Amino acid sequence: MQDLKNRILANAVKAFNPLRIRIGGSLQDQVYYKVGKFPKNCSNFEKKSNGLFGFGDGCLHINRWDELHGLFNKTGAAITFSFNALLGRIQSDEDDTLWEGDWNQFNAKSLMKYTIKKGYKIDSYELGNELCGGGVAAKIKAQQYGNDVKKLKKLVTHMYPNPADRPKILAPGGFYDEQWFKEFLLTTGPGVVDGLTHHIYNLGAGRDPTLIDKLQNPFYLSQIAQTFINVENSAKLFSPSSGPWVGESGGAYNSGGKTTSHTFVNGFWYLDQLGMTSTFNHKVYCRQSLIGGNYGLLNTTTFIPNPDYYGALLWHKLMGKNVLSVTHEGSPYLRTYSHCSKTSGITVLLINMDKSTTFDVSVVDDLNIYPDSVESIHQREEYHLTPKDGNIQSDVLLLNGTPLKLTSSLDIPEMNPKLVDPMFPITVAPRSIVFATLRGFQAPACA
């Protein structure tokens, strides 16, 4: 159990204004919610050899729910809550990973009713974790799951009669399977699912000794693009109102890599995926996890931010919703992405995975809408991210050469750019990441 009153945790969440937090994961489909008289006994998770993921059922105490919302209210977080989707079902006699029968919504409705009564804000509800396709530890057939999501939609519509404050519906929260997703979306029909959530762990197991090589290999990282394209196409074809979301991704599964996932080098994968998913029309990207495992954005014991926390925060502050097409003629080890800036102009993200080559990047508008008079007025704002001592497995991140560390009052530090004459190219050092905001760049999509 994490200390929800930890000041660093609160400040780390607050800095995003807002940070989306998903409450869910492997054990969520074994959780009962202690609301009123149900369940009679509210016990913690205990190991069980024949249980899902090696555990028996557990219980969410209502006072813990109150404590969580105390943190969320204080920090302005946007909450996704994922319900237990196995409640009411039984395991198939023919396949013990297949769960059959209708979802029992009673416990979810009770928690929802309590949540509304207390005035707690929920951004979105999801049903189940990794139950689609072949599942992970358990699975549900697509048509059955689709009918249950319609049931959840009806419940949420009833409990939240005002559309203005009605939580969104997310599903299915698992790994992409084309036929299963198609059947599921045909069952729900349009207008039911608001976010088509899928999970990504394209780096393989955290204990893989080649993990550090994968993190720096642009050809390997690009292989997952086809999955993003497929999910985008499924949403367009069968449920145009539901944009695709990455509902969970930690890069490497089984808690990530002990010597990589909390260090600088992981940013090559992470920021590259933020850029890649944006180009394929994904609306949200949820990182596994905020705290916990080797892939947490915060250190599990000290709560001090890891390098990817700052990378995520810079992305959040600089990259707007409009994605721009960008190409370059250089090395494949230089990855480039560009969005309309959240304020004015554009922001480009440059990721140099090369061990020894420095790239000088000049930004040119294909439509030539970038007059010299505008260039001279606006200085370019650059954020150069490098690891301490040049060690890509360092968990200390340098911004423009200065270590990012908490202030004396445990606040997240200011992340100020260095100002550069826009007539000069952007210099991207070996094994570094650069965000650059060009205020005077007149991209038509950003008007």
Mean pLDDT by 10 residues, the chain (447 residues): 88 98 96 92 89 92 97 98 98 96 97 98 98 97 98 98 98 98 97 97 97 98 98 95 96 97 98 98 97 96 97 98 93 98 96 98 72 63 98 98 98 98 96 96 90
Strand partners, 168: 124
Q: What is the pLDDT of residue 417?
A: 98
Distance CA 340, CA 347 (A): 6
Active site residues: 130, 248
Q: What is the pLDDT of residue 373?
A: 44
Q: Are 346 and 446 in contact (CB under 8 A)?
A: yes
Q: What is the pLDDT of residue 393?
A: 98
> Could you count the other beta carbons within 10 Å of the beta carbon of residue 101?
14
Q: Are 130 and 24 in contact (CB under 8 A)?
A: no
- The whole-model pTM stands at 0.96
Tokens 């369940």 correspond to 39
Q: What is the pLDDT of residue 368?
A: 52
Q: What is the pLDDT of residue 304?
A: 98
Q: CA 116 → CA 156, 202, 353, distances in Å?
A: 11, 38, 48
User: Residue 249 has which token pair?
Assistant: 């991704």
Q: What is the pLDDT of residue 1?
A: 54
CA 96, 101, 107, 113 torsion-angle sign: positive
Q: What is the pLDDT of residue 51?
A: 87
Residue 29 phi, psi dihedral angles, 5° rounding: -85, 15
Q: What is the pLDDT of residue 378?
A: 87
